[in-house]
Amino acid sequence: MTKNILITGGSRGIGLGIAIALAKMGCALAINGRRSAKEVQKTIEDLREYGNKVVYCQGDIASPQDRDNIISETIKALGQIDVLVNNAGVAPEKRLDLLGTTPESYDRVMETNLKGPFFLTQKIANHMIANPQNPEGIKGCIINISSVSANMASPERSEYCLSKAGIAMMTKLFAVRLGEHHIPVFEVRPGIIETDMTSGVIKKYQDLIQQGLTLQPRLGQPEDVGKAVAALVEGKFPYGTGQVLMVDGGLHIPRF
């Protein structure tokens, strides 16, 4: 049974790792991103090599109009949305001390990382309620990709931490509201993953990992997150709505 899945920010980094894992499962994918279709053409073609339908829906989830377009294009291409993976996110353009964080940076990060996913999820949740299952009886779910920054404080990127803490609560809120409709909602919380977002500080993280920052002495990879999301999409946790799945090599475990 093919599941129709919308992945925001799915053309690179963690989102692409998720897309590859789900393409291997045989899912039909709508990949969202801000880049032009021409810029991601090779990526989309590579995903199609796994044999299922893959479409690209360009748009910025921070934009209300773009959110509507992303949803309508996905439904037009795939028929309906069975699974939403909220992955798109941005880091602050400059890492500023908490006492110097600007309203402009705060708004930019929050619009993309929290407000956009919240209202995208709201619309898609209503779509899922109106279409409880497709003709093959496929059950849907919602998966939010957050970060260990949801509960680990980094004063030099406070707006990012706040946005991810908001995603954690958003997961709980939608899990509570959608429980009666049998739509599970999950949070996947990655640790230090090697992507373009972390490339500027990757040497710092590598050194910290060698010093014992994580229990597993390596950087996380996008495919690590992809495998976790695939398990949720496959229905491996049918009685676990609202739960957090840590993909951080043990980073979150307090030690002394």
Contact predicate 161/153, CB 8 Å: yes
Nearest to 230 by CA among 83, 119, 81: 83
The single residue listed with the structure tokens 């996380």 is 220
Rounded-to-integer distance, Cα 199 and Cα 92, Å: 14
Q: Which two tokens stand for residue 131?
A: 């279409």
Amino acid at 27: C
Rounded-to-integer distance, Cα 158 and Cα 95, Å: 9
Amino acid at 186: F
Q: What values do phi and psi take at 116, rounded to 5?
A: -60, -55
Please say if 160 is a catalytic residue: yes
Nearest to 147 by CA among 227, 94, 91, 105: 91
Q: Any residues with CB less than 8 A from the CB of 228 and at least 6 apart, and which? A: 188, 245, 247
Choose, from 50, 56, 106, 160, the residue flagged as catalytic. 160
Contact predicate 138/3, CB 8 Å: yes
Rounded-to-integer distance, Cα 165 and Cα 181, Å: 25
- Helical H segments across 135-244, by residue range: 158-178, 202-210, 222-233
List active site positions: 160
